[in-house]
Structure 1
Amino acid sequence: MDFTEIYRQSGGLVAFSPGAHFILTAVSDRLVVRRADTFHVSRSWQVPSLPSPSAAAMIPVTSSRPVKPALDADSTTQIVITQIAWSPDSEYVFSACAKLGLVYIFRMRDEEWSAHIEAGTEGLLRAEWAPDGRHVLCFSEWGLRVTVWSLVAGIATYIQYPLHPDRGHAFRQDGRYFVLAERHKSKDTIGVYDAANSFSLSRHFPLPTSSMSSLALSPSGSHIAVWEGPLEYRLFILSLAGDVLGSFKPDPDPGFGIRNVVWHPSDMFLAVSGWDNKIHILEQLTWSRVATLELGTRIPANVTIWREPSKWLEATEGRGFLSYEKLEGPHSLNANRVDNSKSYPKSGTVQLEFNKTGTLLLARFESVPTSVHLFAFPGPGEAFSPRLRSVFLHSSPVMRVHWNPVRQGRLALSCGGQAMYLWSEEWIGESGAEEEMAECVGIPAKKFNARDVQWAPDGKGLLLIDRETFCCAFDVEE
């Protein structure tokens, strides 16, 4: 790997542009855009730090504390910018300042052009781009409404009573429809809005849930999976017309709700997991369970085990790379003791994710925080028998794991130290055939703590993010 220099950032706000040509960062109250090839600054904007008129008017009523002053150029102890994002076409960027109730929008082609959105008295929790890159969605406090602002028409469309600001909504893959979980008259509902027609309401139907936790829209956009809150393990599958196609509830009832739901890229399967260390696979024809994958305290003999070498960073002085130790099974896992008397016990899956082609399912279990499990998933025409394929063991808890967005068999991991970890099934061995390879890669810096790792959209580079700095790593051969 080839590493860049270390650059400043604030709040972990760093993002590749969708085309991977630029990198957007927040540094205190300033937005900085760098070229991804030379890392030269291409654009820079300073975000005004004054609150919106509505937010300023509400301060004496809602808070006894004065508004904090803007940050100076050398301070990163206070963060003004709380969120940054590229438009899907890389034409615009925005920075959201939730505490100030403002979203500032800038244009890459015209450094002098800018616009801002004032959230108003309902406040601002978060913002996001619509897939067309010309609308910005602002989620207000207290679940009051979603405001859709048009950059072209300069008008706003209001959608009342979203159920959650950070989940419970999705765009169809083609960007045509916006699906939103809502709550009207104390009942869970779904609203389907036509994004091509000023977000006008297309359908509105009730849900069979009593307290919906979230939803997951299938890759084709034809099915919606919705599930209950943490007290009940129950999932429903609906069509976009509101018809209930199926439901799932395990027997016996595990006593806690659902933590993760993820669709297979083919739309044919649905993976569901909760706090009981089990992953249930549902199929599309009858929405019944066809397989159950479970965390065991003993790894079978036919599973590949990769273990991080002991004190390898000290031995390599944080430079270069070293292969994982490949162990022969069976092997025992040291799982943390789970206290089921707590409302949210430290068990179950904290991450569940298919790779690009759906041939591998990644799972991280909270009771074994230092490990990552990979399950092999059968492809078209293969016998349906998902199984545990590989397990990665580390000396520190795993913080982030991400699939390469382009290559089907490549992973990047971070454990919070001065290193990152890579796994690939595309390594060409001595025989000329592809095989697995897992490597520990040291970050050549005097002081760097890789809290997060993110792939570039083209899959050729990685962002490594510390508390106040970041750097990039690229494959030398590419």
Structure 2
Amino acid sequence: MNFSEGFKLSGLLCKFSPDGKRLASCVQYRLIVRDVNTLQILQLYTCLDQIQYVEWSSDSLFILCAMYKRGIVQVWSLEQPDWHCKIDEGSAGLVASCWSPDGRHILNTTEFHLRITVWSLCTKSVSYIKYPKACQQGIAFTKDGHYMALAERRDCKDFISLFVCSDWQLLRHFDTETQDLAGIEWAPNGCVLAVWDTCLEYKILLYSLDGRLLSTYRAYEWSLGIKSIAWSPSSQFLAIGSYDEKVRILNHVTWKKITEFEHPPIIANPKTIVYKEVEKSAAAETQKLSFPPTRALASSLFSMPSKYNISQVPMSLQYIKPVADRANPRIGIGTLAFSPDNCFLATKNDNTPNAIWIWDIQKLKLFVVLEQLCTVHSFQWDPRQPRLGICTGNSKVYLWSPAGCVSVQVPMEGDFQVLSLCWHSGGDSMALLSKDNFCVCYLEREEVK
């Protein structure tokens, strides 16, 4: 495993291009595009204000920079550096911006969710979509890019509109049996749309492409409901994370529950492997210490190296009892992610913030639990194989695969705390992001057996 030098960064805005050839990062109002292999700067763009969001077009030829405070979006071309585009929403304001799947239209959501404006880069035409709903996830595109689903709110009722992305014509419009729709997400095969209700109502609805209600699933009533969902890459399973600290798995044939995964604070099953991160005993080589210490040495003194030990079961995880009289309690399954080969599901229960649970989907049982020393900030699967990258807000990066797991110190000077990470599409490198810097971590390719 090798690491690049550190580069400046602001707002955790760093993204690989979809074709894997370039890496975009933002420093205040500057957009920097680098070659992935050499990290040499290819393009340097200057925006009108501090960049708050950045996104590549699907073909990697354009890049969008949104400045929500100013209500402006600027678009840059990688093929023609002199070409540029500025979209100003004016007094309507701007709260969200994204590309359409074809990479030639931009969808801007105005303040108070009054409308969505669709801007065409090719014809310079403008279309308007009224009544978008302000919710957790209100726009969803099918993976093939043909259709867009939009959550709407009209006359105190929730609706879904399905649009054809090629000409933005309305394909279907139907109301949903929700009290206060919280989000929508397509299955990867584009055949089923999952719609879930407010956290006050446990309800998930599954609709076909023509607007038919295929199934409704409710696990319980009179308690906080759905917190997160994830489709398996094959579209065969829908995992639903709930505030009751359980994950329920629905199958794609009957849309009934086939199992539920509990997240108890005590791991009792002897067949479960528990990796516990522990600090290595640092044998201080006093003869090498200098005074005053160098920056690199000072940093290493404050970031203790660590390793994983296999713990004996039963064992207790660090458990946080939620404060009942405060809003947004830290409780329930906040994050879910399937591995790219459908074999594993990684989950995080916010009551045990230092633990990651990895479930074997073929056997439908708990496979591994990782307990970290610090709270898990982010985890993400390698897009090519079952390998999980993890960061916990310290100066280390962690990797798990079925072969085992490893803790690696990031060799950066100063206070480099890894708050987020993103994988390259080839799975052989990942960007590690801190508050003010980022670096690229290069990995040897593991042979997939």
Q: By the TM > 0.5 criterion, same fold?
A: yes
Shift of the alpha carbon at 1:286? 2.3
Shift of the alpha carbon at 1:446? 2.1
Q: SS at 1:42's partner residue?
A: strand
Match runs of 1:233-312 below 5 Å:
233-251=202-220, 253=221, 255-299=223-267, 300-311=269-280
Is 1:202 aligned to residue 171 of structure 2? yes
Cα contact 2:10–2:27 (8 A) shared by 1: yes
1:46 and 1:362 map into 2 onto residues whose CA distance is 39
1:393: which partner in 2? 371
Q: SS at 2:69's partner residue?
A: helix
Distance 1:313 1:415, change over 3 A: farther
Letter in 2 for 1:273: G
Cα contact 1:322–1:439 (8 A) shared by 2: no
Is 1:104 aligned to residue 74 of structure 2? yes
2:318 and 2:378 map into 1 onto residues whose CA distance is 20
Shift of the alpha carbon at 1:330? 2.2
2:9: which partner in 1? 9
Q: SS at 1:196's partner residue?
A: coil
Residues 224-269 of structure 1, C-alpha deviations (whole Å, 9 max, x = no match): 1111112111111111222111111114x36102101112222222
Q: Which moved more, 1:118-127 or 1:203-212?
A: 118-127
Is 1:182 aligned to residue 149 of structure 2? no
Cα contact 1:126–1:165 (8 A) shared by 2: no
Shift of the alpha carbon at 1:341? 4.2
Cα contact 1:259–1:275 (8 A) shared by 2: yes
2:313: which partner in 1? 329
Q: SS at 1:328's partner residue?
A: coil
Picking from 115, 134, 139, the partner of 1:169 is 139
Cα contact 1:254–1:276 (8 A) shared by 2: no
2:418: which partner in 1? 450
Cα contact 2:8–2:27 (8 A) shared by 1: yes
2:288: which partner in 1? none
Picking from 324, 330, 342, the partner of 1:358 is 342
2:156 and 2:17 map into 1 onto residues whose CA distance is 40
Gaps in structure 2 of 5+ consecutive residues: 285-296
Cα contact 1:19–1:458 (8 A) shared by 2: no
1:416: which partner in 2? 393
Q: SS at 1:164's partner residue?
A: coil
2:394 and 2:142 map into 1 onto residues whose CA distance is 38
Q: SS at 1:309's partner residue?
A: strand
2:294: which partner in 1? none
Match runs of 1:61-210 below 5 Å:
80-164=50-134, 167-197=137-167, 199-210=168-179
1:366 and 1:91 map into 2 onto residues whose CA distance is 39
Cα contact 2:279–2:305 (8 A) shared by 1: no
Letter in 1 for 2:330: K
1:314 and 1:22 map into 2 onto residues whose CA distance is 41
Distance 1:320 1:331, change over 3 A: closer
- Return the TM-score normalized by structure 1: 0.86
Letter in 2 for 1:395: L
1:294 and 1:264 map into 2 onto residues whose CA distance is 19
Q: SS at 1:272's partner residue?
A: strand
Shift of the alpha carbon at 1:343? 4.1
1:406: which partner in 2? 384
Letter in 2 for 1:101: G
Shift of the alpha carbon at 1:314? 8.5
Letter in 1 for 2:41: V
Is 1:373 aligned to residue 357 of structure 2? yes
Picking from 186, 198, 218, the partner of 1:229 is 198
Distance 1:28 1:343, change over 3 A: closer
1:58: which partner in 2? none
Distance 1:442 1:126, change over 3 A: same
1:313 and 1:225 map into 2 onto residues whose CA distance is 50
Q: SS at 1:208's partner residue?
A: coil
1:55: which partner in 2? none
Q: SS at 2:279's partner residue?
A: coil
Shift of the alpha carbon at 1:332? 1.8
Q: SS at 1:121's partner residue?
A: helix
Cα contact 1:168–1:180 (8 A) shared by 2: yes
Q: SS at 1:142's partner residue?
A: helix
Cα contact 1:293–1:387 (8 A) shared by 2: yes
Cα contact 1:313–1:442 (8 A) shared by 2: no
Give me the identity figure in percent.
Answer: 30
Letter in 2 for 1:34: R
Shift of the alpha carbon at 1:181? 0.5
Cα contact 2:196–2:204 (8 A) shared by 1: yes
Distance 1:446 1:186, change over 3 A: same
Cα contact 1:10–1:26 (8 A) shared by 2: yes
Q: SS at 1:100's partner residue?
A: coil
Letter in 2 for 1:190: I
Q: SS at 2:124's partner residue?
A: coil
2:52 and 2:259 map into 1 onto residues whose CA distance is 41
Letter in 1 for 2:440: C
1:396 and 1:323 map into 2 onto residues whose CA distance is 13
Give the total of aligned pairs: 429
Letter in 2 for 1:142: F
Shift of the alpha carbon at 1:48? 2.3
Distance 1:98 1:224, change over 3 A: same
Cα contact 1:400–1:452 (8 A) shared by 2: yes
Q: SS at 2:215's partner residue?
A: strand
Shift of the alpha carbon at 1:131? 1.2
